[in-house]
Amino acid sequence: LDYALGNKGIDKIILLSPVDMIFRFKARVKDRYDDYINLAKTKVEEGKGLEMLTEEFSAQKIYSTFRYGSKADTLAIEENRKNRILEYYGHIDIIKGTNDHVYGDYSKEYIDEVFAHEFSNAILEIKNIVNADHSYKGFEKQAAALLTDSIVKMLK
């Protein structure tokens, strides 16, 4: 998504289980979020961006992906961040499961509303797979069919 936002020639995208990267990181680290962002900034400025700050993420990854205003700060589902409209004017299909953990306790209706607002400049279609989780386990055929339909539609 962030690549398409920066390249106006991309006028059709399919998002499969799109994630608010900042929301997810905050959910993992909880009240240590600001500490991680500040430490990551310091490490990057010191030339130590590859140093691991968690078991999964380096300072560079944390600073470039999980801080407000970073290039990956594209989807925003938290109430205090949800009122922006992204500058994308093409076609977007979103395929997601209604039981996807990446949306926390937010309802399907709330997430759909947020995406519809963020992409109000775009031609948007949201395709929900009822009861599917982030990996679509048990719903692989349904996810594949929706993805195939989206690809065919985008190729026309």
Residue 1's pLDDT is what?
84
Q: What is the mean pLDDT of residues 48-74?
A: 93
Sign of CA dihedral 155, 12, 67, 21: negative
pTM of the model: 0.87
> What confidence tier does 71 reach under pLDDT thresholds 50, 70, 90?
confident
Distance, in Å, from the CA atom of 58 to the CA atom of 50, rounded to the nearest integer, reads: 5
Residue 82's pLDDT is what?
73
Say yes or no to pLDDT of 30 above 90.
yes
Sign of CA dihedral 45, 46, 49, 52: negative
Per-chain mean pLDDT for the chain: 94
DSSP 21: H
- How many other CB atoms sit within 10 Å of the CB of residue 109? 10
Using an 8 Å Cβ cutoff, are 36 and 70 in contact? no
Residue 114's pLDDT is what?
94
Strands (DSSP E) contained in 2-156 are: 12-16, 91-97, 123-129
